[in-house]
């Protein structure tokens, strides 16, 4: 199945401590250019994520953003566990006479310890869930874009095929015109008929496009096969081969209607080359 290199995916998951939002965006690139942004507390998992994203994204300029939104006490900047321990210590010092409200007020005036960057297992699990959801959404987006690309490319190939199908009907007319030109050039001039036949055969062989037609037909069929396999690089290579045969067909045509058909083929081929750059 064909996939586009352009894509977008989003995944969300949460646990008691945080809500995790992950976005994946990609554009065209010859290889994989992966940019990964995340909170510093997550850095120990970077290599694992790069490997996973590389296997899924394959190619493209890919930007991945992992955003963490704190929930519960952490979102309010309150370290509940530390406050409880501080109030208990103050209670032991001050005795039972001090109320819980006074203990809380005193604890809040104490310098709080730095926030721990330790990530609990449930948060790691939430990140993985968000990552899976984002990758699934990203792949689905690429498939949808790939389907649209496939329709365009098939239409372009069909247009070139239609041009190729018109060539045989023009060849008989082209040969007749060549004979007529040679005969007009010989009017009033004594000439050797056998030499005339030799020259005619020479020109006909020089302008013969049968091999180009056969190779072009093979390349068009090969292109459609590569589309079904979803191989973007191969499409680029085959489109170059199509271009070579179309150019040779044009240079050998020596026939205005056939040259117009070749120009139309080239127009479709340029569209194919442009679209193929976006295929994964």
Q: Which residue has the higher pLDDT, 60 or 115?
A: 60
Reported as a pLDDT band with limits 50, 70 and 90, residue 73 is low
Asked whether residue 160 falls in the same domain as residue 272, the answer is yes
Long-range CB contacts (within 8 A, 24+) of 218-225: 219/245, 220/157, 220/160, 220/161, 220/164, 223/153, 223/157, 223/272, 224/154, 224/157
Alpha-carbon gap, residue 115 to 117, rounded angstroms: 6
Q: Tens of pLDDT along 136-176?
A: 999 999 999 999 999 999 999 999 999 999 998 887 777 77
The predicted model scores a pTM of 0.75
pLDDT of res. 193? 67
Asked whether residue 181 falls in the same domain as residue 253, the answer is yes
Whether residue 54 lies inside any domain: the answer is yes
Q: Which residue has the higher pLDDT, 75 or 65?
A: 65
Full domain range(s) for residue 105? 80-109
pLDDT of res. 239? 96
- Helical H segments across 187-255, by residue range: 193-206, 210-229, 232-253
Whether residue 116 lies inside any domain: the answer is no
- The phi, psi pair for 103, rounded to 5°, reads -60, -40
Asked whether residue 171 falls in the same domain as residue 188, the answer is yes
The token duo for 157 is: 């190939």
Which residues, including other chains, have CB under 8 Å from residue 207's CB and lie 6 or more apart?
A: 174, 178, 252, 253, 254
Cα separations (Å) of 191 from 176, 177, 182, 197, 202?
20, 20, 12, 11, 17
Asked whether residue 101 falls in the same domain as residue 25, the answer is no
Which residues, including other chains, have CB under 8 Å from residue 130's CB and lie 6 or more apart?
A: 11, 12, 13, 20, 21, 22, 66
Q: For the chain, what is the domain count?
A: 3
pLDDT mean over 101-126: 75
Helix (H, G, I), strand (E, B) or coil at 273: helix
Asked whether residue 93 falls in the same domain as residue 43, the answer is no
Reported as a pLDDT band with limits 50, 70 and 90, residue 19 is very high
pLDDT mean over 60-70: 94
> Is 123 within 8 Å of 17 (Cβ atoms)?
yes
Alpha-carbon gap, residue 218 to 238, rounded angstroms: 10
pLDDT of res. 184? 65
Asked whether residue 104 falls in the same domain as residue 66, the answer is no
- The phi, psi pair for 190, rounded to 5°, reads -70, 135
How much of the chain exceeds pLDDT 70, in percent?
83
Smallest Cα–Cα separation from 164: which of 239, 249, 233?
Answer: 249
Asked whether residue 136 falls in the same domain as residue 163, the answer is no
Reported as a pLDDT band with limits 50, 70 and 90, residue 51 is very high
Whether residue 134 lies inside any domain: the answer is yes
Whether residue 114 lies inside any domain: the answer is no
Alpha-carbon gap, residue 217 to 223, rounded angstroms: 10
Asked whether residue 56 falls in the same domain as residue 183, the answer is no
Q: Tens of pLDDT along 190-246?
A: 656 666 666 666 666 667 888 999 999 999 999 999 998 888 889 999 999 999 999
Asked whether residue 161 falls in the same domain as residue 214, the answer is yes
């Amino acid at each position: 199945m064909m996939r586009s290199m352009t894509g977008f995916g989003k995944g969300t998951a949460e646990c008691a401590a945080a809500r995790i939002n992950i976005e994946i965006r990609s554009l065209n690139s010859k290889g994989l250019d992966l940019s990964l942004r995340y909170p510093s507390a997550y850095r120990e998992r970077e290599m694992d994520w790069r490997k996973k994203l590389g296997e899924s994204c394959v190619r493209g300029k890919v930007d991945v953003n992992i955003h963490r939104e704190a929930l519960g006490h952490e979102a309010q900047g309150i370290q509940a566990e530390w406050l409880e321990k501080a109030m208990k210590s103050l209670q032991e010092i001050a005795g039972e006479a001090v109320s819980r409200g006074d203990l809380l007020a005193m604890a809040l005036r104490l310098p709080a310890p730095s926030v721990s960057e330790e990530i609990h297992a449930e948060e790691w699990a939430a990140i993985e869930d968000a990552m899976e959801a984002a990758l699934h959404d990203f792949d689905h987006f690429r498939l949808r874009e790939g389907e649209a690309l496939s329709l365009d490319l098939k239409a372009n190939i069909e247009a070139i095929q239609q041009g190729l199908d018109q060539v045989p009907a023009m060849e008989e007319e082209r040969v007749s015109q060549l004979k007529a030109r040679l005969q007009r050039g010989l009017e009033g001039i004594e000439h050797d008929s056998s030499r005339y036949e030799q020259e005619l055969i020479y020109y006909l062989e020089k302008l013969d496009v049968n091999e180009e037609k056969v190779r072009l037909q093979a390349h068009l069929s090969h292109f459609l096969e590569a589309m079904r396999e979803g191989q973007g690089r191969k499409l680029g290579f085959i489109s170059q081969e199509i271009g070579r045969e179309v150019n040779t067909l044009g240079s050998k045509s020596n026939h205005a209607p056939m040259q117009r058909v070749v120009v139309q083929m080239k127009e479709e081929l340029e569209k194919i080359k442009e679209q193929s750059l976006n295929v994964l």
